Amino acid sequence: MAKYKIFTSGKMSGLSYEESMGWRREVEKAVLNLTDKKVVFIHPPEYFGFENSDLKLARQWEIKQIASSDIVLMYLPTIKDSIGTHIELGIVEGINRTKEKKIEIIGIGKPNTDHLWIEEGLSYRADTIQNAAEIINDFLLI
């Protein structure tokens, strides 16, 4: 059975661990409730925080995790204030241009900015976490 890797991208800076993990836990639960496929979620807040991490190592770790993912979930309601999420979107777009790999990007929610690059960088945009889980199950875990 194939194993799928999903990386969760969204604001962490200025949020508590619980705040940055809330939507991540919800989407993981929703996806796992719909599928019988083997899915691994990578949630950056589980691996490092801004106060006690070597940010240079964390950056390298994130790039490796994104590059080896099948899907990146991007939380859009706080994207305007998350430079890391913007950079992660660019990393995925760069990887996707190599034609050696295609990473699907699913945006969740309504972006709190209307920058063209955000909307154009998404493979899909889901209004809700449940809708994102359905897109993943119905179209991407195949």
Tracing tokens 């661990």 back to the chain, one arrives at 17
pLDDT at 7: 98
pLDDT at position 137 over 80: yes
- Domain boundaries of the chain, sorted by first residue: 3-140
The answer to whether 75 and 140 have CB atoms below 8 angstroms apart is no
The residue length of the chain stands at: 142
Q: What would the two tokens of residue 112 be? A: 């709190």
pLDDT at position 66 over 90: yes
Collect all residues with Cβ–Cβ distance below 8 Å to 59 and sequence separation of at least 6.
none
Average pLDDT, integer, range 2-17: 94
pLDDT at 51: 67
Average pLDDT, integer, range 22-49: 95
The answer to whether 42 and 63 have CB atoms below 8 angstroms apart is no
How many Å apart are CA 7 and CA 88, to the nearest integer? Answer: 10
The answer to whether 23 and 75 have CB atoms below 8 angstroms apart is yes
Q: What would the two tokens of residue 13 be? A: 């800076």
pLDDT at position 52 over 70: no
Q: Report the SS3 class of residue 19.
A: helix
Q: For the chain, how big is the Rg over CA atoms in Å?
A: 14
Domain 3-140: give its CATH code.
Answer: 3.40.50.450
**How far is C-alpha 28 from the chain's CA centre?**
11
If one counts every other C-beta atom within 10 angstroms of the C-beta of residue 116, the result is 7
pLDDT at position 99 over 80: yes
